[in-house]
Structure 1
């Protein structure tokens, strides 16, 4: 399969300094896109990713994804800098391991934070960039979901619910924003990052042993699926693409 060029396109990646975000930035930049890499608070980290990318014309930005006005300000900045946005990738998220049976440990504050960062922020980013994506004529939104949204097994119940909400959002916005914007979700299982605090090699080995393809995912596995959404799955919208090595089959 020959990679399709993204020459001339502008891709904004929220959470672009994280494992999946930076892997996605590298893949899309290699296809000719100009990349806007965002980090929640660490501009230096985002700049480090930008400096590592092939090509030129990339931009680092620090923005709080739970601040809707800051998201709107970033959209204005991207409009001023590039005059367009063609692809919006939402990889940002947070979680915390809480046993599902421990209802008291899943506090109201943690629930609100998880939904703010893992659902509301993605919606707000799409809302802020809608006009730019529509004017592209071939706009694309890609959200990073999780198989926990369908299996009900994940770091905590609120995280599972937020990811289920992202899958429903893809269906709703895939319908509402067509035909000028497509909306797709990429849904990984366990990925070898430091995303879940406290999980290390022992957890990864245990999950790998019970996954049909006998390994956990890498950031590049997820990034390659995001690349496919931007280059080959051009007649798809409103659906969630699973990239989990068969993990959900257990």
Structure 2
């Protein structure tokens, strides 16, 4: 699939990984729909960056946990560009809670995380299905996490929601073909403000150093390296669907069960 003149909706693209994906896709000639939930200023800054590459950029507010918002987002994209070729389900949230602290999570925490991390991608896929199928070569990328494979990460609720997203990716790949490919990418530790704010500066730096030291490639993911992988799936993976691709410098190779 070629990106030039295609149209991509990237949820949660006002900052971080989503913003990096939007900029990279735009650099390759793809029109982009920049979605935000609350950070309008960030979304408009990303759109301005994308427009520097000569493509169209549409900024839309939507909460992917709300089905009506998902449908309105797709309709806005179609009204502006007349087509949707790519959907990147990047919007996500978490609650930071030590896995040993079972009292630190309640039912509402799980519901809140699942609403955005799992139900949101389903609702966006359903809203965009007709448009993605229409062009015969659509692609969906779900932003999962190594947490969903290894049961690690910011909290048990987060890991569970991403594990469900990985399973859903495989289910959707079966039913969306042959017109649409569906894949998941699973970043490990991602350098940037999101984790820095969640972990705190000192803890962030300690974990980053340990991650780099443990990974065979001695590096950790960044928003830009995750965007590179997404680009590769779009333009170089015509026979790839239902796959889960890890982006962690090989750190998962040294993982062992945590012992108390």
1-structure distance, mates of 2:114, 2:192: 21
Please list, as runs of the form range in 1=range in 2, the aligned pairs for 1:1-250 lying within 5 A after superposition. 5-53=2-50, 54-196=53-195, 197-199=198-200, 200-250=204-254
2-structure distance, mates of 1:209, 1:110: 33
Q: Cα deviations across residues 183-237 of structure 1 (Å, max 9, x unaligned)? A: 0111111000232312422221222222222221111110000000110011110
For the 8 Å contact 2:58–2:77, the answer to whether it is kept is no
* Larger relative helix fraction: 2
Gap runs ≥5 in structure 1: none
TM norm structure 2: 0.91
Shift of 1:145: 0.8
1-structure distance, mates of 2:152, 2:42: 31
For the 8 Å contact 1:94–1:195, the answer to whether it is kept is no
Gap runs ≥5 in structure 2: 255-260
Q: Cα deviations across residues 139-178 of structure 1 (Å, max 9, x unaligned)? A: 1000111111111111111111111111111110100110
2-structure distance, mates of 1:168, 1:56: 34
Q: Name the count of aligned residue pairs.
A: 247
Any idea what SS the aligned residue of 2:10 has? strand
For the 8 Å contact 1:63–1:70, the answer to whether it is kept is yes
TM norm structure 1: 0.95
Any idea what SS the aligned residue of 1:191 has? coil
Shift of 1:56: 2.5
Shift of 1:18: 2.1
For the 8 Å contact 1:46–1:62, the answer to whether it is kept is no
- Report the aligned-residue RMSD: 1.3
1-structure distance, mates of 2:37, 2:184: 21
